[in-house]
Structure 1
């Protein structure tokens, strides 16, 4: 299969559901190949890591990327991404990132452990109660979505009652991150973007009237206090991106990882017996089926990644999921092996755009997997999980399981307790994110 055929496979509905065969067909042509004029594709771990860290590559030349899709330049979905730190280069990237980075320092993330553990335990207890008679439970609905959305919404100061619509809105918006989209898909993304921007516009005004110890207040104060620090469009765009990045990848990590664990019962049993192994397990789960599969960079000058010439202005599509299975970097790369030495997956990116929320996502996963396995020892797939037809953000649309476990014996948490964040937990998250003072400062690991 030549490169063009492999790219056609990768971008097809089949490739979006399972990109790994297409990755291997591309890898057969080298760690970097020219897909068509103006676009190179990288599958090699070393090359991807190099490009992510090399300042000669940028995320975009223009405020909006170029495309042939009608309406792209006027798209609210594109604006919601393009005006955020996700698509910004120096000095704008550092200016925006610094405002929120203080909420994601290792110290502040570690301080959230008790809150995350309590929320996770309550969700598992509710799962056990719902499935105690053998009823099928969707892990995404019951656990993998509400856990990270509860944490990021508490950080942002989003009331519990307003969170239910976010899953649909963000699912609609994030199609704009795909390498190729249609006009119909862009229209869907725009609807999600408009809904999210309208919501945060109202929240901004509410925080302007009544400040709180949350990230939304911090961004509003940065916008209002100093001309040029954060304009109105950047304020809304970064709130949208913080929400999306704060739970989308973690939801996918929890869902993808659980399927892998249930498919490897011996490894699952080892983690159940020894939760201290969770750190190594999470790294291998990130590697074997990354929740983020694709990103890209544009060369600002002529470069030669992997020895392949790329002209100034050329785009390099970085297939993170392929790099994570590069046999030059990982022995027997398709095998799930939590004991791998020096396991450093590319799933959270690298360089200046390394995911700000990486430490928080890891914390949630390190708590969630052992808890699920210990509290629900009979946890099993109930039918075939269904993937979303997305390449960039890889995850499941449905993930049905059976639990058949008594909640009090499993978790010690009363099933009557709400599975949403309690008022005390929201206050604790806000205090941690604000450094017990208010506007966060400093730098640390969170959104790309």
Structure 2
């Protein structure tokens, strides 16, 4: 199987469910490999990090879409995403990002810790009631979705009663982020885009009538004061992206992370007893099975990396999850090890498009996992969970758990109490 065949396998239903074998097959060709006439796959950490920061590589903006995706404006999903900071290059990307960045400063995120902890406790209380008597509880529906959606909706000023609407709409829309999408999947994504755009058009109108202390009101004021700083289409598109990115990635981080912890009970026990270890655990969970597996870039000029020249108009498939398992950076990368000396995974990207909400996602996970393990010591999977058939945003369809069974016997070989010197 050559590199092109391996990339095709990665995009297939089988590859989407379990991409890691395909990553390793690609790695065998080198950290950067040509996988088609104008396609290059990157599995090396240093190479991916370098390319994410290189200004000669950009996302597919309007001018490039006109060349490579004629008729893209007919798709509400593609058109909506294209107006946001997610799919624009500098200077437009920088202009839009600055307008929202104030809500995600380290100081503001740190100030949210108590609010996140209180919400997590409320959700755990509900899980205890629902799982009383050994009844299975879907961790995604009962915790991993409502926690981050509640946090991002509070920032945006979305009423609590509306929050259940977004899970399906977001799941539909995010199909458009996949590197390969069928016409049927695009139709579903278009439906989600229309629902989300209509919702935020109503919320924007409501904030004009009655301003509030939230990010939506702040962005509406920017648009209404100076439309050149933020157009009407950009306003709606960025509200949609902020909402979807604000919970979709974190929901997958919480679901993927819990599955890993339950498979490594000694490591989970160490975190249960020493919650101060949570930052290192979250970094390793992000490295080991990240919620965002890849991103793409297009070269605007020739770039040489890893001994391979990417020509102008060359597509670059940056396999973040593969880079996070590069053995040149992470010894024994297939092993979950929250005591690694270095981490800094590329799960949130790097460079201009580094995830704006990365700090918030980290905070939510750092708060949630110790609370879950402490309050639900008997948490256990009902059965092996199934992943969604998505490659870019990797997560589970559902995660049924029971909460009153005894913890499983240690089986991962992690020394009890091994926590970088912590007893």
Q: Above 0.5 in TM-score?
A: yes
Q: Tell me which residue corresponds to 2:398.
A: 398
CA RMSD, aligned part only?
1.3
Q: Tell me which residue corresponds to 1:39.
A: 39
Residue 47 of structure 1, CA deviation: 0.5
Answer yes or no: is the 8 Å Cα contact 1:80–1:241 preserved in 2.
Answer: no
Q: Tell me which residue corresponds to 2:383.
A: 383
Q: Tell me which residue corresponds to 1:256.
A: 256
Equivalent residue pairs, number: 405
- Cα distance in 1 for partners of 2:75, 2:30 equals 36
Answer yes or no: is the 8 Å Cα contact 1:348–1:354 preserved in 2.
Answer: yes
Q: Tell me which residue corresponds to 2:113.
A: 113
- Cα distance in 2 for partners of 1:22, 1:252 equals 21
Q: Tell me which residue corresponds to 1:98.
A: 98
Stretch deviating more after TM superposition (203-212 or 260-269): 203-212
Question: Superposition pairs for residues 353-368 of structure 1, below 5 Å?
Answer: 353-368=353-368
Deviation string 1:60-94 (CA, Å, 9 cap, x unpaired) is 25356369889633111001211100111111111
List runs of 5+ in structure 1 lacking aligned partners.
Answer: 406-448
Answer yes or no: is the 8 Å Cα contact 2:72–2:79 preserved in 1.
Answer: no
Stretch deviating more after TM superposition (187-196 or 82-91): 82-91
Greater relative contact order: 1 or 2 (C-alpha under 8 angstroms, separation 6 or more)?
A: 1
Secondary structure at 1:48 match in 2: helix
Deviation string 1:194-221 (CA, Å, 9 cap, x unpaired) is 0000000010111111111111111111
Stretch deviating more after TM superposition (1-10 or 289-298): 1-10
Secondary structure at 2:283 match in 1: helix
Q: Tell me which residue corresponds to 1:196.
A: 196
Q: Tell me which residue corresponds to 2:18.
A: 18
Answer yes or no: is the 8 Å Cα contact 2:61–2:88 preserved in 1.
Answer: no
- Cα distance in 1 for partners of 2:133, 2:259 equals 22
Answer yes or no: is the 8 Å Cα contact 1:33–1:42 preserved in 2.
Answer: yes
Question: Superposition pairs for residues 283-298 of structure 1, below 5 Å?
Answer: 283-298=283-298
Q: What's the TM-score, normalizing by structure 2?
A: 0.94
Q: Tell me which residue corresponds to 1:373.
A: 373
**Alpha-carbon spacing, 1:223–1:63, altered in 2? closer, same or farther (3 Å):** farther
Deviation string 1:342-381 (CA, Å, 9 cap, x unpaired) is 2110000001111110110000000000000000000000
Q: Tell me which residue corresponds to 1:444.
A: none
- Cα distance in 2 for partners of 1:125, 1:108 equals 27
List runs of 5+ in structure 2 lacking aligned partners.
Answer: 406-423
**Alpha-carbon spacing, 1:43–1:67, altered in 2? closer, same or farther (3 Å):** farther
**Deviant stretches of 4+, over 4 Å:** 66-71
Question: Superposition pairs for residues 340-355 of structure 1, below 5 Å?
Answer: 340-355=340-355
Question: Superposition pairs for residues 199-210 of structure 1, below 5 Å?
Answer: 199-210=199-210
- Cα distance in 1 for partners of 2:179, 2:196 equals 22
- Cα distance in 1 for partners of 2:386, 2:71 equals 31
Answer yes or no: is the 8 Å Cα contact 1:23–1:322 preserved in 2.
Answer: yes
Q: What's the TM-score, normalizing by structure 1?
A: 0.89
- Cα distance in 2 for partners of 1:371, 1:352 equals 34
Q: Tell me which residue corresponds to 1:438.
A: none
Answer yes or no: is the 8 Å Cα contact 1:64–1:79 preserved in 2.
Answer: no
Deviation string 1:196-251 (CA, Å, 9 cap, x unpaired) is 00000010111111111111111111101013100111011000000011000000
Answer yes or no: is the 8 Å Cα contact 1:249–1:291 preserved in 2.
Answer: yes
Secondary structure at 2:55 match in 1: coil
